[in-house]
């Protein structure tokens, strides 16, 4: 089977840094994705890791350790608009169909 | 601008009704997916399709069927709606490759079954 765990809720202050963790157990791992979802809207793609290490994209970075089954999403210089749910998703079995298994999401509240 | 369009944003149906949720993408993507999203459970895959007339079950296919007669259109069908199918339904599409083929989601269809 597969299991993806991430915190349910987090709170952070505008301008600060926040790290959202995700741990997973799955067979046939072939990549980890982070999506952002604002309330009432569709999820949108943030980042993708398939090899160990850090991927940086502006204020957002994502880290992966395949041996530990662990990833985090790092958000720097937080803005109010970063208040959203952050979804960790694991791709399994590789290949073309990109079938993703999602965690339950972390609801981030950014406070002034 | 790439787009996945779901025909109905909000639907209210009665128990036992047949429900059609339509999804159209204009990106010429091979893969299409139907997820449902529920509080505390996240997004769960119902069905997906990697080609016209091809379909595969996801993790929770019971009570649902799908149709893909054209590449751009993927329909989710609830043959006899039940109250436990009240949910947000999200359609998504992606290219078919082994790389970081990103899912593009539609805005969602919120279904209430009374």
pLDDT in tens, B49-97: 999 989 999 989 999 999 999 999 999 999 999 999 999 999 999 887 6
B-chain residues near A105 (CB < 8 A): 42
For residue B34, give the nearest of B24, B44, B25 by alpha carbon: B44
* pLDDT over threshold 70, residue B98: no
With CB atoms and an 8 Å threshold, state whether B105 touches A44.
yes
For the cut 80, the answer to whether the pLDDT of residue B112 exceeds it is yes
Give CA–CA dist B109/B9, Å, rounded.
Answer: 4
The average pLDDT across A37-46 equals 93
pLDDT band at B17 (very low <50, low <70, confident <90, very high): very high
Which of B35, B97, B102 minimises the CB distance to A45?
B102
- Residue B34 is predicted with a pLDDT of 96
SS3 A65: strand
Pick from B33, B43, B46 the residue to mutate for testing the A interface (most A CBs within 10 Å).
Answer: B43
**DSSP per-residue codes, B42-98:** EEEEEEEESSTT--EE-S--TT-EEEEEETTEEEEEESS--GGG-EEEEEEEE--SS
Banded pLDDT at A97 (limits 50, 70, 90): low
Nearest CA in chain A to B47: A99
Of B44, B56, B103, the CB nearest to A98: B103
Do the chains contact at A96 and B96, CB–CB below 8 Å?
yes
Interchain pair B31, A31: CB under 8 A: no
Q: Which two tokens stand for residue A40?
A: 């009432």
Residues of B in Cβ contact (< 8 Å) with A87: 42-43
Pairing, β A9-13 against β A106-111: parallel
**CB of A111 within 8 Å of any CB in chain B?**
no
**Phi/psi of residue B85, each to 5°?**
-100, 5
pLDDT for residue B7 = 87
Name the band, by pLDDT with cuts 50, 70 and 90, for residue B1: low
The residue-averaged pLDDT of A23-45 equals: 91
The yes-or-no verdict on residue A73 having pLDDT over 70 is yes
The answer to whether the CB atoms of A50 and B44 lie below 8 A apart is no
The verdict on a CB contact (< 8 Å) between B100 and A104 is no
């Amino acid at each position: 089977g597969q299991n993806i765990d991430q915190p349910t809720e987090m709170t952070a202050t505008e301008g600060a840094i926040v790290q959202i963790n995700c741990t997973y157990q799955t067979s046939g791992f072939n990549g980890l994705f982070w999506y952002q979802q604002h309330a009432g809207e569709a999820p949108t793609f943030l980042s993708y890791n398939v090899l160990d290490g850090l991927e940086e994209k502006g204020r957002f970075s994502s880290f992966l350790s395949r041996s530990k089954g662990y990833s985090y999403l790092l958000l720097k210089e937080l803005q109010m608009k970063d208040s959203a749910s952050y979804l960790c998703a694991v791709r399994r079995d590789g290949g073309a169909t990109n079938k993703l298994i999602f965690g339950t999401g972390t609801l981030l509240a950014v406070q002034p | 601008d790439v787009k996945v369009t779901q025909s109905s944003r909000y639907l209210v149906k009665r128990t036992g009704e047949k429900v059609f949720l339509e999804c159209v993408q204009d990106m010429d993507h091979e893969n299409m997916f139907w997820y449902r999203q529920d509080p505390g459970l996240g997004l769960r895959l119902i069905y997906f399709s990697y080609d016209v007339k091809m379909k595969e079950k996801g993790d929770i296919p019971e009570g649902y069927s799908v149709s893909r007669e054209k590449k751009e259109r993927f329909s989710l069908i609830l043959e006899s709606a039940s109250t436990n199918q009240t949910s947000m339904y999200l359609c998504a599409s992606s290219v078919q490759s082994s790389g970081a083929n990103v899912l593009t989601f539609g805005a969602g269809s919120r279904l209430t079954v009374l």
